[in-house]
Chain A
Amino acid sequence: MHEITLQPMSVLADGGSHEGQLILADGQLVAVFSWVTPEETVGGLERAGGWFLEAGFGPCSGLHSTTPPVLETLDDAVTWVRGRLDNGLIPS
């Protein structure tokens, strides 16, 4: 089981500053999530605001995964990261 830690970090995403979280697995950066507003998610099929994968590394990178939908809570984001760490090349 990987040790997951979170670290708040402001992210300069397109459209300006966003509240963000670095997600580290065993001390290494694997994902950056930012909080997006309902306007940015357009309501659409995704939920009204939530955590969006801005960048992923290793198993969370675009080489091995596709961008997940906007996630409701940080716990969901951590669950997604754990899924990626465990699944390797199998899409999730």
Chain B
Amino acid sequence: MAFMTNPLILKLEKHDKLSEAEKRALENAIARIRVVEADEDLVREGDRPGESSLLLDGYAARYKIVSNGRRQISAIHVAGDFIDLHSFLLKTMDHGVLALTNCRIANVPHATLEKITEEFPHLTRLLWLSTLIDGAIHREWLTTMGRLSATAHMAHLICELYLRLKVIGRAEGDTIQLPITQAELGDTLGLSTVHVNRVLQELRKEGLIRFQGDALTILDWERLKTVGEFTPTYLSLQNEDR
């Protein structure tokens, strides 16, 4: 299936070189493309999917529901993320994945992934790397959730999303599109909507960010990084042999 540069390829190329054969294998792995509307589940907890979902456009969230319908979002995914590559080996989903915005999804059958692991050892390592980076992001989130102030935590999240979008060419200068509601940010950061609003006001008042509709502009990257204690090491963005 032909389409413009697959954002997964863009993403993987930040970490290491891909051969033409590897790129072709990734492009050919896509069995179909589907559109999922905002607030719909891409995968549900308890599902046993036969294919994995690669996000081509939009934002998605991993989540779990606790009592009273309260929700914790444990990861936010952007274009190029292989959202549930996990289901290839975990089989049964222990959490759901939700479309935060309208999403364009490429489905890759598990049988195709199995073939890739047999025929492309280097590409397999890069897919392994991408789940390791997902794990590194979880560690970082756990740390920021537990030990940073709410303001610092928010600043950290903004820094991370900005860099991840920049890597796949989805930042325009200092601006990213962040069509995520404050309630969803609250579920991500473990904060009430009231606190999310106050923290964003604080970052705005300090001249660090600006919101215009869904467009978030970073006005002072260095200070935002300082406030959020953000160091991007965990995103493994350097290009080297893997």
Segment at the interface with B among A1-9, A19-27, A35-43, A73-81 = A35-43
The distance in angstroms between the C-alpha atoms of A10 and B156, with both chains bound, is 32
Residues of B within 8 A of A70 (CB): 192-194
Q: Determine whether B201 belongs to the interface, using a CB cutoff of 8 Å to chain A.
A: yes
Count of interface residues, chain A, beta-carbon cutoff 8 Å: 17
Kindly provide the distance from the CB of B210 to the nearest chain A CB, expressed in whole angstroms: 17
Kindly provide the distance from the CB of A49 to the nearest chain B CB, expressed in whole angstroms: 11
Kindly provide the distance from the CB of A80 to the nearest chain B CB, expressed in whole angstroms: 12
A39-62 CB mask vs B (1 if < 8 Å, else 0) is 111101110000010000000000
Q: Determine whether A17 belongs to the interface, using a CB cutoff of 8 Å to chain B.
A: no
A14 and B202: CB pair below 8 A?
A: yes
B192 and A44: CB pair below 8 A?
A: no
Q: Determine whether B131 belongs to the interface, using a CB cutoff of 8 Å to chain A.
A: no
A91 and B192: CB pair below 8 A?
A: no
How many of chain B's residues touch chain A, expressed as a range? 10 to 19
Q: Determine whether A87 belongs to the interface, using a CB cutoff of 8 Å to chain B.
A: no
Give the contacts of B167-222 with A (CB-CB under 8 A): 181-183, 192-199, 201-202
A42 and B202: CB pair below 8 A?
A: no
Q: Determine whether B67 belongs to the interface, using a CB cutoff of 8 Å to chain A.
A: yes
The distance in angstroms between the C-alpha atoms of A13 and B192, with both chains bound, is 14
Contact of B182 among A44, A66, A69 (CB under 8 A): A44
B67 and A36: CB pair below 8 A?
A: no
Q: Determine whether B5 belongs to the interface, using a CB cutoff of 8 Å to chain A.
A: no
Kindly provide the distance from the CB of B138 to the nearest chain A CB, expressed in whole angstroms: 21
B70 and A66: CB pair below 8 A?
A: yes
A→B interface (CB under 8 Å): 13-15, 36, 39-42, 44-46, 52, 66-67, 69-70, 91
Write 7 A-B pairs (CB below 8 A) sorted by A numbering: A15-B201, A42-B196, A44-B182, A45-B193, A67-B195, A70-B194, A91-B67
